[in-house]
Amino acid sequence: MNFIRAYAIEAVKHVLLLGLIFAAVYAGNSFSCTRVDPGFTYMRPRVDENAILLVDRRPARDGELQIEDVVCYTFTFPERIATRVGRVIALPGETFEAKAGSFIIDRRARDTAAIDGIKQYTIPPIMVPRGHLLVMFDRSFGNQPLIDKQLVPFSEILGRVVYSIGGGK
């Protein structure tokens, strides 16, 4: 009888250990941490420069990103790859434009938390291509945005920002 009890205890330990291993693998495949580049301040106060981000990779991988999601993505300069953060403001197939302080999607004004970042620009109507999202910043970029750089391919999106340490919340 004593050996059955000892066997049951060992079996429970192994099941719990396997459960922890599976949970760790799931978390490792679903979440990651990354740091925002120094000098990147266009998403303050939501995300500050040098902030460490917890990123949920599942929505980007499954194609389930939504309007107003704050996403982390890679941006390729000729000399390096940068980590940036922005807000999704248009989905594939939508036609967007900015004029007279308004952001317009498919001929209807859309309110967005990123309006301060784009209200000063005039952008002619452009359709978001398949496999891309229009990602803009909450603060003004300073000069006219390079729209081809703001149309971010899904392959460059690391995931949805869940939490930011060292920046705003």
% pLDDT > 90, the chain: 40
Residue 159: give its domain's CATH number.
2.10.109.10
Q: What is the percent of the chain where pLDDT is above 70?
A: 93
Residue 3 counted as domain residue: no
Q: Which domain holds residue 38?
A: 31-165
pTM over 0.85: no
The answer to whether residue 12 is domain-embedded is: no
167: pLDDT strictly greater than 50 = yes
Q: Which of 27-36, 122-131, 144-153 has the highest mean pLDDT?
A: 122-131
The pLDDT tens digits for 61-109 are: 888 999 999 999 998 888 988 889 999 999 999 999 998 889 999 999 9
Average pLDDT score, the chain: 87
Does any domain span residue 15? no
3-state secondary structure the chain: CHHHHHHHHHHHHHHHHHHHHHHHHHHHHHEEEEECCCCCCCCCCCCCCCCEEEEECHHHHCCCCCCCCEEEEEEECCCCEEEEEEEEEECCCCEEEEECCEEEECCEECCCCCHHHHCCCCEEEEECCCCEEEEECCCCCCCCCCHHHHEEEHHHEEEEEEEEECCCC
Number of domains in the chain: 1
